[in-house]
Amino acid sequence: MNIITPLLQDNKLPAVDKPATVSPVTGDIRLIGGLNERLFKLIASIDRTGSINQAAKEVGLTYKGAWEMIERANNLSPKILVSTAVGGRQGGGTRLTPAGKAFLQLFTQIQEEHCQFLEAVNRRLASSQDTLFLLKRLIMKASARNQFFGKVTEVSIGAVNVTVVISLKGGETIVAGITKESAESLGIKSGVDVVALVKAPQVIVITDFGGYRISARNQLTGTVSRIQKGAVNSEVVIDLKGGDSVAATVTNESIETLALNIGNPATAVFKAGSVILGVAS
């Protein structure tokens, strides 16, 4: 789906007011020939200031870049859109021709209709809570390789730290250890939807416990689904029964030592203190 973003008022092009909240569907309008919203922001600024130099600064272009954009538009258009006058009765400067003004007006009308279309689409998305929740998850960006979305099922408050149990969609659980201050600031309590972030290098892969038990709270057992080898380290992805997956970074030597192969069972182990929690704002 093409992404569409209404023009901003600070570029002085008339636009429909945008809602304060972030809409799931956004993007820009692009016309055939590479004519996009940045061009129309530039044209609108030229119409207001009468200076391509000033307009370029407002739009965030170099003087040369602005001229190249205008020259391309002039070449594509049946009639000149922007003209430059030197001296004369009306003085020098850069101006929109009647064709340029008409083109700008047409684009503004298209933009207004476009905004109305976006509002209608976002209203439809808002009526589907499951879809809206998925889109909100996709907005989040984080460097941690592992991102688990689940619901808090248990909160144990200690003298300094708080232990949080998160249930994943497949029934597996993740335990996170965070400070009381973090728990309070995030509003952590039973029933809250959270994302648990775990960096791949903090995940240990075990294939045989050898009769021992380990202290790490998180032990997620599954099946190796992918091994991406690098020069020194490899990424091992373990699919869990519930549908989630865990990625771990291990050395190539460990791949051989553990006899890791696709389809083999393996357990991803990480400490509760390695889990970072996030909630929707």
Tell me the domain boundaries of the chain.
9-134, 140-278
Do 190 and 154 meet the contact criterion of CB atoms below 8 Å apart?
yes
Condensed to tens digits (0 to 9), the pLDDT of residues 23-38 reads 656 666 666 556 678 8
Class of the CATH-defined domain 140-278: mainly beta
Cα separations in angstroms, 56 against 49, 70, 102, 112: 11, 11, 21, 24
Least confident of 59-73, 135-149, 249-263: 135-149
Q: How confident is the model at residue 16 (pLDDT cuts 50, 70, 90)?
A: very low
Q: Kindly report the CA angle at 259 between 257 and 260, in degrees rounded to 5?
A: 115
Alpha-carbon span 224 to 81, nearest angstrom: 60
Q: What is the pLDDT of residue 133?
A: 52
Helix then strand then coil, % of the chain, to nearest 5: 35, 30, 35
Query: What fold does the segment set 9-134 form as a domain?
Result: Arc Repressor Mutant, subunit A (1.10.10)
Positive/negative CA dihedral, 215, 216, 218, 220:
negative
Q: Give the residue with greater pLDDT, 85 vs 155.
A: 155
> What mean pLDDT do residues 219-244 have?
93
Query: Between 114 and 177, whose confidence is greater?
Result: 177
Question: Over 80: is that where the pLDDT of 221 sits?
Answer: yes
Residue bearing the bigger pLDDT, 151 or 71: 151
Rounded average pLDDT over 189-215: 92
In whole angstroms, what is the distance from residue 173 CA to residue 150 CA?
9
More confident residue, 121 or 153: 153
What is the number of helices (H) and of strands (E) in the chain? 7, 14
* Average pLDDT for 159-169: 93
Whether the predicted pLDDT of 242 surpasses 90: no
Average pLDDT, the chain: 81
Give residue 107's pLDDT band: very low, low, confident or very high (50, 70, 90).
confident
Instruction: List CB contacts of 214: < 8 A, sequence separation 6 or more.
Output: 206, 269
Sequence letter at residue 34: G
